[in-house]
């Protein structure tokens, strides 16, 4: 892999050391391709959790990651949606139970720091995967290869670049791919907390006129909270003293988990939607938030990123021995990801719009949709199935199989 101290040659270079980049590096390396992972500078502390859907857990299992973090994850056996809008047309409470689909759980919720540690630990043991802790500074793309220049002076030549370098992706810019972007009038406060009552493996999403307020189980009597409100309200909540914040969370959660003891660490995220106009071009495929950013509603963001990573691995496995960065491979990846990303983005956007809307028909539409889901078993089961395993995206890893 190493040519001389200043330059390296490989088949695939993955740029970005977030969860999507680590998944992509492991997934691509699982095809046998010689892979270099350029991780960038260490990311800031992240107190978020990820609700990993069942397909994502299948992928982590095949890649040998899940055994080392399974104990730090809590199963999500039921999901409740409660209309807390106090509007004229309120939706009935809807409950989805995994056992209705014959599943143990819809997915598992894990703190990102535990997931990252397990991914990193596994990546260190894979022979055909080298890690470079440096920033990508520039990317040159030509007909036969891509050349990545690192901040430290090294260059890496590869047939394919997997851009997992986040929202401000320099690899995406080098490939000439634009993004469509829309800011939401909302922000999210994230924190983890202990509570007096057991969560019973049930995740509860209160729909409020400012956005969802979602409690997701963690192991023991702990849960993670994502509270979506206006940016001003998020800032106010973030600045509250410990006891005042605990009281505010207990009030907003209608005391369903009893006495609340929040952790001290609090996260703040402005929300919006970003979608790349293409998911691959000129030897660069986009993965994770370099390709799509969606608000934290319905736990979709990183699950989409994991499906991106699994799809890249399938494209690489199918194209090995040929040019894995060819225009044909780029078109194939773009086609394989479009329906999944577009449908998830639209669903999350629509749900959020109907929450924020003061227009009665929009509220009625959401209420009717949730009413039908609560009453019509086959519709509810189809909705749940689509939520955990979208028909538009079934890469091998998501099905619990090696890439191919
Ligand atoms: C409040 C909140 C809650 C969420 N909850 C969920 C959930 O429950 N389930 C779910 O599926 N998703 C969830 N998400 C979405 C999920 O967190 C994101 O999809 C995920 O973190 C994105 O990972 P990423 O690796 O694509 O991006 P990032 O984590 O941003 O990683 C990008 C990486 O690239 C590196 N980088 C940048 N530039 C360079 C460079 N030039 N060279 C080298 N490296 C570079 C950065 O240092 C960083 O490490 C949530 C999001 C929010 C905001």
* Polymer length in residues for the chain: 404
**For residue 369, is pLDDT > 80?**
no
What's the gap in Å between 272 CA and the centre of ligand 1?
14
Confidence grade of residue 4 (pLDDT, cut at 50, 70, 90): low
Q: What is the pLDDT of residues 280-293, one digit of tens each?
A: 999 999 999 999 99
Ligand 1 pocket residues where CB is under 6 Å = 15-21, 38, 40-41, 43, 48, 50-51, 135-136, 164-166, 170, 188, 190, 226, 269, 288-289, 296, 299-303, 305
Instruction: Give CA–CA dist 228/295, Å, rounded.
Output: 9
Helix, strand, or coil (residue 11): coil
Q: What is the pLDDT of residues 249-279, one digit of tens each?
A: 999 999 999 999 999 999 999 999 999 999 9
Residue in 214, 301, 304, 307 to alter for ligand 1 test, most ligand atoms within 8 A of Cβ: 301
Residue 289's φ and ψ, nearest 5 degrees, are -70, -10
Has residue 288 been placed in a domain? yes
Q: Average pLDDT, stretch 69-89?
A: 87
Is the alpha carbon torsion for 338, 341, 344, 347 positive or negative? negative
pLDDT attached to residue 89? 61
Regarding whether 310 and 162 lie in a shared domain, the answer is: yes
pLDDT attached to residue 370? 74
What's the gap in Å between 20 CA and the centre of ligand 1?
7
Regarding whether 337 and 203 lie in a shared domain, the answer is: no
pLDDT attached to residue 87? 63
Has residue 232 been placed in a domain? yes
pLDDT attached to residue 276? 98
Instruction: Give CA–CA dist 207/192, Å, rounded.
Output: 19
**For residue 90, is pLDDT > 70?**
no
Nearest Cα residue to atom 32 of ligand 1: 166
Find the CATH number of the domain harbouring 206.
3.30.9.10
Strands 2-4 and 7-9: antiparallel
Residue in 36, 50, 171, 393 to alter for ligand 1 test, most ligand atoms within 8 A of Cβ: 50
Distance between terminal CA atoms of the chain?
23
Residue 286's φ and ψ, nearest 5 degrees, are -100, 135
Contacts with 231 (C-beta within 8 Å, 6 or more apart), sequence order: 185, 186, 187, 270
**For residue 52, is pLDDT > 60?**
yes
**For residue 374, is pLDDT > 90?**
no
pLDDT attached to residue 246? 96
Position in ligand 1 atom list of the atom nearest CA 306: 11
**For residue 77, is pLDDT > 90?**
yes
Confidence grade of residue 164 (pLDDT, cut at 50, 70, 90): very high
> Could you tell me which residue, 214 or 47, shows the higher pLDDT?
214
**For residue 88, is pLDDT > 70?**
no
CB neighbourhood size of 287 (10 A): 36
* Count of structural domains within the chain: 2
Position in ligand 1 atom list of the atom nearest CA 226: 1
Has residue 176 been placed in a domain? yes
Has residue 404 been placed in a domain? no
Regarding whether 207 and 138 lie in a shared domain, the answer is: no
What's the gap in Å between 25 CA and the centre of ligand 1?
15
Q: Percentage of the chain surpassing pLDDT 70?
A: 93
The DSSP 8-state label assigned to residue 210 in this structure reads T
Find the CATH number of the domain harbouring 48.
3.50.50.60
**For residue 302, is pLDDT > 90?**
yes
Regarding whether 129 and 53 lie in a shared domain, the answer is: yes
pLDDT attached to residue 94? 84
What's the gap in Å between 114 CA and the centre of ligand 1?
15
pLDDT attached to residue 388? 73
In terms of Cα–Cα distance, which of 64, 74, 72, 82 is closest to 27?
A: 64
Query: Which of 253, 271, 289 finishes a domain?
Result: 271
Query: Which of 246, 271, 296 finishes a domain?
Result: 271
Regarding whether 141 and 58 lie in a shared domain, the answer is: yes
In terms of Cα–Cα distance, which of 107, 95, 40, 30 is closest to 63?
A: 30
Q: Average pLDDT, stretch 369-390?
A: 72
What per-residue string of b and e applies to 191-215 under the rule 16 or more CB within 10 Å gives b? bbbebeeebebbbbbbbbebbbbbb
Regarding whether 267 and 349 lie in a shared domain, the answer is: no
DSSP string computed for 147-209: EEEETTS-EEEESEEEE---TT-HHHHHTT--EEEEEEEEEEEEEEEEESS--TTEEEEEEET
Confidence grade of residue 362 (pLDDT, cut at 50, 70, 90): low
Give me the domain span that covers residue 203: 187-271
What's the gap in Å between 18 CA and the centre of ligand 1?
6
List own/partner pairs for 211-216 with CB under 8 A and 24 or more apart. 211/186, 211/297, 211/352, 211/355, 211/356, 212/297, 212/355, 213/84, 213/252, 213/253, 214/296, 215/253, 215/256, 215/257, 216/49, 216/51, 216/76, 216/109, 216/299
């Amino acid at each position: 892999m190493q040519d001389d101290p200043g330059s390296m040659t490989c088949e695939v270079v993955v740029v970005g050391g977030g969860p999507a980049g680590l998944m992509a590096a492991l997934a691509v390396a699982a095809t046998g391709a010689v892979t270099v992972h350029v991780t960038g500078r260490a990311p800031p502390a992240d107190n978020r959790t990820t609700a990993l859907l069942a397909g994502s857990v299948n992928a982590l299992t095949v890649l040998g990651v899940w055994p080392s973090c399974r104990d730090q994850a809590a199963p999500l056996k039921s999901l409740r949606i409660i209309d807390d809008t106090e509007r004229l047309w309120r939706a009935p409470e809807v409950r989805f139970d995994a056992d209705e689909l014959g599943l143990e759980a819809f997915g598992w919720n894990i703190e990102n720091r535990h997931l990252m540690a397990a991914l990193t630990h596994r990546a260190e043991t894979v022979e055909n995967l080298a890690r470079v802790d440096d920033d990508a500074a520039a990317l040159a793309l030509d007909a036969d290869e891509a050349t990545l220049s690192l901040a430290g002076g090294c260059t890496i030549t590869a047939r394919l670049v997997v851009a997992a370098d986040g929202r401000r992706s320099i690899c995406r810019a080098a490939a000439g791919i634009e993004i469509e972007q829309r800011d939401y009038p909302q922000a999210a406060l994230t924190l983890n907390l202990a509570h007096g009552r057991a969560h019973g493996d049930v995740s509860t999403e209160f729909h409020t006129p400012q956005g969802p307020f979602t409690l997701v189980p963690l192991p023991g009597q702990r849960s993670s909270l994502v509270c979506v409100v206006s940016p001003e309200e998020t800032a106010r909540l973030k600045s509250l003293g410990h006891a005042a914040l605990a009281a505010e969370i207990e009030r907003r959660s209608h005391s369903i988990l009893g006495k609340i003891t929040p952790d001290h660490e609090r996260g703040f995220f402005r929300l919006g939607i970003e979608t790349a106009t293409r998911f691959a071009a000129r030897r660069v495929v986009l993965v994770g938030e370099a390709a799509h950013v969606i608000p934290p509603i319905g736990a979709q963001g990183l699950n989409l990123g994991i499906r991106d990573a699994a799809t890249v691995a399938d494209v690489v496995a199918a194209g090995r021995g040929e040019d894995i960065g060819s225009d044909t491979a780029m078109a194939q990846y773009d086609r394989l990801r479009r329906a999944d990303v577009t449908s998830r983005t639209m669903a999350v956007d629509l749900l959020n719009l109907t929450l924020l809307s003061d227009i009665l028909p929009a509220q009625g539409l959401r209420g009717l949709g949730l009413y039908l889901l609560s009453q019509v078993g086959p519709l509810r089961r189809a909705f749940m199935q689509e939520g955990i395993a979208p028909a538009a995206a079934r890469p091998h890893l998501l099905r619990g199989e090696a890439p191919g």
